[in-house]
């Protein structure tokens, strides 16, 4: 099995990340979409391993002690976090691991797994366009939309930390760009791989 790779995606809510991943999924080979682990009980219609991995508080805390979490937080007495156990399994199986996380999460992945990580920031072309999309969805209250706009203003300042930017104003163009980036991410070689190759080449 070939070694896997990591692709981190960030961008404001309403940028179209889920739509792009869904439309590109048939063209990027075998991948694992990283989902969070939580101690909160499943809501109606949620499945373990689809929306979240649902675990007990004891199991979560045991895994914190073992250093299995890339990041975690306690919200309203429940833990939420990104477990490295399924990520490592997917990498060993040669899969592309896709993270849809915020700019802080991107920083953490870079700190721990930079060697095999590629990243892309997905955004509409302007703040006005983002606001229009969020209002059009009309699934959120005005206060939530306002909060998402403020978060987007903060997150966009971190755009220089990313390898690629996908401006999602034309969906089919954005999907094609994403496919190219996903395929390029698979070709990234770790420092260890380069050393091994060099040793063999010079032998």
177 and 102, same domain (yes or no): yes
94, 48 Cβ separation under 8 angstroms: no
159 and 186, same domain (yes or no): yes
| Average of per-residue pLDDT values in the chain | 91
CA distance 188 to 164: 14
The 10s digit of each residue's pLDDT in 109-121 is: 999 899 999 999 9
pLDDT for 2: 56
Burial of 91 (0-12, 13-18, 19+ CB in 10 A): buried
114 and 142, same domain (yes or no): yes
Number of structural domains in the chain: 2
The 10s digit of each residue's pLDDT in 153-182 is: 999 999 999 999 999 999 999 999 999 999
127 and 197, same domain (yes or no): yes
pTM value is 0.85
CB half-sphere exposure, 140, CA atoms < 13 A: 17
88 and 99, same domain (yes or no): no
Q: What percent of the chain has pLDDT over 90?
A: 72
Q: Which domain holds residue 69?
A: 35-92
**CATH, residue 17:** 3.40.50.300
115, 190 Cβ separation under 8 angstroms: yes
101 and 25, same domain (yes or no): yes
């Amino acid at each position: 099995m070939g070694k896997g790779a990591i692709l981190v995606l960030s961008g404001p809510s309403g940028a179209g990340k889920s739509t792009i991943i869904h439309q590109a999924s048939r063209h990027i080979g075998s991948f694992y979409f990283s989902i969070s682990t939580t101690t909160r009980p499943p809501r109606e219609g949620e499945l373990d391993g689809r929306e979240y991995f649902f675990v007990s508080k004891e199991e979560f805390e045991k895994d914190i002690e073992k250093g299995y979490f890339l990041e975690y937080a306690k919200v309203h007495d429940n833990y939420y976090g990104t477990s490295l156990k399924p990520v490592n399994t997917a990498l060993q199986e040669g899969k592309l691991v896709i993270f849809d996380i915020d700019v802080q999460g991107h920083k953490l992945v870079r700190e721990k797994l930079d060697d095999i990580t590629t990243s892309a920031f997905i955004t509409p072309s302007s703040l006005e366009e983002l606001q229009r999309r969020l209002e059009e969805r009309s699934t959120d209250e005005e206060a939530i939309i306002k909060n998402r706009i403020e978060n987007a203003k903060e997150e966009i300042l971190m755009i220089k930390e990313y390898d690629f930017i996908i401006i999602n104003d034309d969906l089919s163009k954005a999907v094609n760009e994403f496919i190219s980036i996903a395929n390029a991410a698979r070709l990234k070689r770790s420092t260890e791989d380069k050393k091994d190759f060099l040793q063999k080449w010079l032998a």
